[in-house]
Amino acid sequence: MARLLFVSVAGPILGTVEMLSPLFQGTQPFRFVALYDDDETRLHAAIQFSLDSHRRDQQQIEKNRPW
């Protein structure tokens, strides 16, 4: 177990994580095992922001396709 802190568009997120086996060199996957309520809310908001941003990017790509 380890503590992980990172800054997202929704603010800082602090949680307890379990480190998982790397699938690729240079990556370190993990899973959250504990989050405070405020951090969980910020994590959900950051994920939603990322999904919305990806959707907007995809729509822009489709809009600008030559066919």
pLDDT digits (tens, 9 = 90+) for 13-32: 999 999 999 989 999 999 99
What are the domain boundaries of the chain? 2-63
User: Which tokens belong to 30?
Assistant: 């993990």
Write the single-letter amino acid at 45.
Answer: A
**pLDDT computed for residue 28 by the predictor:** 92
Closest Cα partner for 9 from 38, 33, 44? 44
pTM of the model: 0.74
Q: What is the DSSP string of 6-52?
A: EEETTEEEEEEEEE---SSTT---EEEEEE-HHHHHHHHHHHHHHHH
Q: For 34-50, how does the pLDDT look when each residue is reduced to its tens digit (9 = 90+)?
A: 999 999 999 999 999 99
**pLDDT computed for residue 51 by the predictor:** 94
